[in-house]
A and B are shown apart, each in its own frame.
Chain A
Amino acid sequence: MLIIPCPHCGPRPENEFRYSGEAHVVRPADPETLDDAALAELLYMRSNPKGRHAERWRHIHGCGWFFNCIRDTVTDRIERTYPAGTAP
């Protein structure tokens, strides 16, 4: 079971968290301006890298905050976590 460092609560076991998909998928301020291809990209296309992956977690059984995390998908090592809305 991973230890995940919540940016607000510190290191906690994985089962306090819920995975929430790739991070930094930007919903535009005005989605109406997106064409169909850009919309499909936004809704359905994810990077799925082998290696460093920026992803979102929620400390759902803790403080409740969503935050971002850099995790290596090969080793499962977490490089760092940082609050939602901040740059990687």
Chain B
Amino acid sequence: MRFRTADGGRIDRTRTLNFSFDGRALTGHPGDTLASALLANGIHLMGRSFKYHRPRGLLAAGIEEPNALVHVDRGGGRDAPNLRATQVELYEGLNATSQNRYPSLALDVGEAARLFSRFLPAGFYYKTFMWPASFWKRLYEPVIRAAAGLGRAPVLPDPDRYLHRYAHCEVLVIGAGAAGLAAARDAAVTGARVILCDEQNEMGGGLLSEPAATIDGQPAAAWVAAVLADLDSRANVTLLPRATAFGWYPDNMIGVAERVTDHLATPDARVPRERMWQIRAREVVIATGAHERPLVFPDNDRPGIMLAGAARLFLNRHGVRPGARAVIATACDSAYAAALDLHAAGVAIALIADLRANPVGPAIDAARAAGITVRTGTSITGSTGHLRVTGALIGTEWVACDCILMSGGWTPSLHMHAQSRGKLRFDAATANFLPVAMAGQRSTGACAGMFDLATILPGHAVSGIITPDGGHAGLVPGAKPKRAFVDFQNDVTAKDLLLATQEGFRSIEHVKRYTTTGMATDQGKTSNINALAIVAGELGNTIPEVGLTTYRPPYSPVTFGTIAGASRGALFDPERRAPMHDQAVALGARFEDVGPWKRAWYFPGPGEDLHAAVARECRAVRGSVGIFDASTLGKIEVVGADAAEFLNRLYTNAWTKLGVGRCRYGLMLSEAGFVMDDGVVGRIAEDRFHVTTTTGGAPRVLNHMEDYLQTEFPDLRVWLTSATEQWAVIAVQGPGARDLIAPFVEGIDLAPAAFPHMSVREGTICGVPTRLFRVSFTGELGFEINVPADFGPAVWEALMGTGVPTPYGTEAMHVLRAEKGYIIVGQETDGTVTPDDLGLSGMIAKSKKDFVGKRALRRPDLVVPNRKQLVGLLTEDPAVVLEEGAQIVADPAQPIPMRMIGHVTSSYASPTLGRSIAMALVEGGRGRMGKLLYVPMPGHTIAVRVVEPVFHDKAGARLDG
């Protein structure tokens, strides 16, 4: 660690940490970041640039760092690309590698890109690689993608845990520098709930790199420690270090990403890696400080060229010298502070080149008094070196050095304020945009343009600190725009920006998108103002006339893990399980996803595939008796004196005359007249209906009913209750259904005359209360046994215990209903299908004056004769099963594109019929009975004959067993 100072800084020199960078074994100390530890070892080269693969070192010392992106691998899938080395805290065994280089950082073949840089100007992907068009996908894009880029995405599943926390407070303070600490302290003493978050490992902000500063006579660091100790002692205060406020969402909801374990060599498995806080604050105090601007001059990106404030931070906080001989290039007093501190630490200061013609003040006086050469009115206009800077062009003189420390002044960090849709004003005196406070938030400290510590801490005596006066934005005077980098992370130069304006771009938002300036993961923290100044200068406008681009979250990259939190794997989209799920698992069921439900799809016996199992299940239902878990059906209890009238208005059918104990198939329309849902409705009492809906439609139907009940028919005395999860439903279907359940049922006369098809009775089964429906979705004699959900498994097992019924799954259910031509809403319908299209005009009560959707059924488009109508299709070759969704044409010989007259909605191999069957929606379908139509498929065409959409037991004789 040749560049480590003997003392000073906030590191622990008594302990040494081993780490590796690109496989090289190195050491550092607790308190180091990866960046400071590499600097201590004399390593500046840390990355290759995005587009031109230029060698890059550190520009900054914190969250704004654009160049030094590294990959940290902890093994076992714990690897993270694109971490800023300035934020990676050193721990024993840290294993980091550089990115975007091959085969190594020092020898990178991609660097050849710079030879072709004239082919990669702003917007190159819009022009250079345009022709021939076919080359883009096969050649240009793959090559450009391989060459450009950041890190490698991890390939293994992330084994770490991430959690979300919600918090509420009266005051959230973002940033724990001097201004933020003061704001938190002032709020805390009122007893308000205060949360103070800061993105760094230590709170204190800039005060931590001001060793000479004093506040009320004590060192600034001691003042920080005292304020933090006081805040920490208060129950109403929460301190969140390593927590980056990344997004501002409406009504003061702030997203904060907390890095909990990344700095630890051996994290505690009980704590998450990261935690996302969603904090709702009555007031947000933004104290996010300012970012130093680079100077824009040719070759301002060589390793060893960094911001003066960054060099000063590395020295004062980490005890690291950036080099042996420094050139300081500045337009701001703060660089003099860096020069003075480095000079005192033994770094030779070749000279200070100040852009300003006549800078005055204590900083300049102090530098001269220390014997440092100060040249005013002097620009830096170039640099030499390759993997490390070796010289600076000052005026016309080349000055040898191993680091160039620059400062273009400081840009208030407006990100959070601007994300909150806060207004900005342009302060001509400092040439900065500044935030305008609004209800619920205010800015303080450097982000509000307050750079003087005495202003930030009124009532405190402060000394020993240089206020950063002055600044410059845009290309430095006398410098050429070529290779003068503005956006270091996206490799955008002043020349690119000038080209964009020459090509006619005027809006800064368009220039941004065309050149990609400010669009990298650093969100333009160091580049936006320089870019704006260059564009404004070229357009002959002022900076406020051109304006800033829109700030959007995230302020700094947030891991996917943090965003996902616990919503991963089984918790990503929690599955719903029917009451008899475990029984189905025990029977070896294969499951399918139906919306959020896991439904038993089929029950394969030994050696059976889907086809064989479904055929056996179907034959069992038609020949003896099958048993099916139908619990996922939506169920809504409709209760009240006006319940029948309510259903009259919500369904096409008439309900008033439906007797207690009887059921009816109900069809529900949207107001636009299209079929929305269907299901059997049973009348349990005069004022009580048991309504069933489709499996997927239950929430939608309940919402639809509530909407009309609350807003259109509020005079009706009706209450709606979801009962989907309260009832387990066991469908028992087949000629043996009655004999199977009879021994278990009490209190219900099952005789056909006493309990006809489409009836419902209350009684008990296996001793538990049941609503027993006699209904059929198979065309066979059938019952649907509703019991309170927790009793479902016991009743299922009692019935299965007879050894009689065959369990069947959703696939057999679909085949059985299709054989009977029963529709499934969402399969035969798609939101554009009317009852008449389905051949269900008979479901529409003629007697009713009004129901939802009635008027719309007379709309001209809904009564045209050639609407698509539901028909059956039989393939000429009975072995061929059509594909659902396949398109249908009348004339297979017509030229392409053919006129499509319909599509297949359902298609199965029917075990009952021993052939394929299908349903389809076909233009004027009912007028085409017996006709041949065609289904063109890749390479062949299938001939089909149009038939009635009922394939089995057209008379319905089997419903009575």
User: Which residues of A lie under 8 Å from residue B710 when comparing CB positions?
Assistant: 65-66, 84
Q: Is B577 an interface residue (CB 8 A)?
A: no
Known: A66-B707, A85-B711, A85-B714. A32 touches B859 (CB 8 A): no
Q: Is the CB of A43 within 8 A of B854?
A: no
Known: A39-B856, A85-B711. A27 touches B671 (CB 8 A): yes
Q: Is the CB of A39 within 8 A of B251?
A: no
Taking the closest CB of chain B, its distance from the CB of A15, in whole angstroms, is: 11
User: Which residues of B (689-712) have their CB < 8 Å from a CB of A?
Assistant: 703, 706-707, 710-712
Alpha-carbon separation in the docked complex, A42 to B670 (Å): 13
Q: Is B849 an interface residue (CB 8 A)?
A: yes
Q: Would you list 14 pairs from A and B whose C-beta atoms are within 8 A, ordered by A residue? A: A1-B251, A1-B253, A1-B278, A2-B250, A2-B251, A27-B712, A30-B850, A32-B854, A58-B703, A58-B707, A66-B706, A66-B711, A84-B710, A85-B714
Q: Is the CB of B860 within 8 A of A31?
A: no
Alpha-carbon separation in the docked complex, A74 to B710 (Å): 29
Taking the closest CB of chain B, its distance from the CB of A67, in whole angstroms, is: 9
Tell me the B residues contacting A by CB distance below 8 Å. Answer: 249-251, 253, 278, 280, 421, 671-672, 703, 706-707, 710-712, 714, 849-850, 854-856, 859-860
Please count the residue pairs between chain A and chain B whose beta carbons lie under 8 angstroms apart in the complex: 56
User: Which residues of A (12-66) have their CB < 8 Å from a CB of B?
Assistant: 13-14, 18, 20, 27, 30-32, 34, 36, 39-40, 42-44, 56, 58, 60, 64-66
Count of A residues near B, CB < 8 Å? 28
Q: Is the CB of A36 within 8 A of B707?
A: no
Alpha-carbon separation in the docked complex, A40 to B671 (Å): 11
Q: Is the interface of B mostly helix, strand, loop or mixed?
A: mixed
Q: Kindly identify which residue among A40, A58, A75, A85 contacts B421, using a CB–CB cutoff of 8 Å.
A: A75
Taking CB as reference atom, which chain B residue is nearest A27? B712
Taking CB as reference atom, which chain B residue is nearest A21? B707
Alpha-carbon separation in the docked complex, A57 to B437 (Å): 31
Alpha-carbon separation in the docked complex, A56 to B249 (Å): 22
User: Which residues of B lie under 8 Å from residue A76 when comparing CB positions?
Assistant: 250
Alpha-carbon separation in the docked complex, A22 to B712 (Å): 14
Q: Is the CB of A43 within 8 A of B671?
A: yes
User: Which residues of B lie under 8 Å from residue A66 when comparing CB positions?
Assistant: 706-707, 710-711
Taking the closest CB of chain B, its distance from the CB of A47, in whole angstroms, is: 18
Known: A2-B251, A64-B706. A30 touches B849 (CB 8 A): yes
Taking the closest CB of chain A, its distance from the CB of B214, in whole angstroms, is: 44
Give me 8 other A-B pairs in contact (C-beta within 8 A), A3-B250, A32-B854 excluded. A2-B250, A3-B280, A13-B280, A27-B712, A32-B849, A32-B850, A43-B671, A66-B710
Taking CB as reference atom, which chain A residue is nearest B712? A27
User: Which residues of A lie under 8 Å from residue B859 when comparing CB positions?
Assistant: 36, 39-40
Among B278, B672, B711, B860, the one with the most A-chain Cβ atoms within 10 Å of its Cβ is B711
Alpha-carbon separation in the docked complex, A57 to B421 (Å): 24
Alpha-carbon separation in the docked complex, A58 to B702 (Å): 13
Taking CB as reference atom, which chain B residue is nearest A42? B671
Alpha-carbon separation in the docked complex, A13 to B672 (Å): 32
Q: Is the CB of B860 within 8 A of A36?
A: yes
User: Which residues of A lie under 8 Å from residue B849 when comparing CB positions?
Assistant: 30, 32
Q: Is the CB of A31 within 8 A of B850?
A: yes
User: Which residues of B lie under 8 Å from residue A14 when comparing CB positions?
Assistant: 250
Q: List the 6 shortest-distance A-B pairs measured between CB atoms, nearest first.
A: A31-B855, A3-B251, A1-B253, A2-B250, A84-B711, A66-B710
Q: Is the CB of A32 within 8 A of B421?
A: no
Taking the closest CB of chain A, its distance from the CB of B514, in whole angstroms, is: 27
Alpha-carbon separation in the docked complex, A52 to B672 (Å): 27
Q: Is the CB of A43 within 8 A of B856?
A: yes
Alpha-carbon separation in the docked complex, A2 to B249 (Å): 8
Alpha-carbon separation in the docked complex, A38 to B856 (Å): 11
Q: Is the CB of B855 within 8 A of A1?
A: no
User: Which residues of A lie under 8 Å from residue B250 when comparing CB positions?
Assistant: 1-3, 14, 76
Taking the closest CB of chain B, its distance from the CB of A70, in whole angstroms, is: 16
Taking the closest CB of chain B, its distance from the CB of A8, in whole angstroms, is: 12
Alpha-carbon separation in the docked complex, A73 to B672 (Å): 27
Alpha-carbon separation in the docked complex, A8 to B589 (Å): 47
User: Which residues of A lie under 8 Å from residue B855 when comparing CB positions?
Assistant: 31-32, 34, 39
User: Which residues of A lie under 8 Å from residue B672 when comparing CB positions?
Assistant: 43-44
User: Which residues of A lie under 8 Å from residue B671 when comparing CB positions?
Assistant: 27, 42-43
Taking the closest CB of chain B, its distance from the CB of A58, in whole angstroms, is: 7
User: Which residues of A lie under 8 Å from residue B251 when comparing CB positions?
Assistant: 1-3
Alpha-carbon separation in the docked complex, A14 to B249 (Å): 11
Taking CB as reference atom, which chain A residue is nearest B860? A36
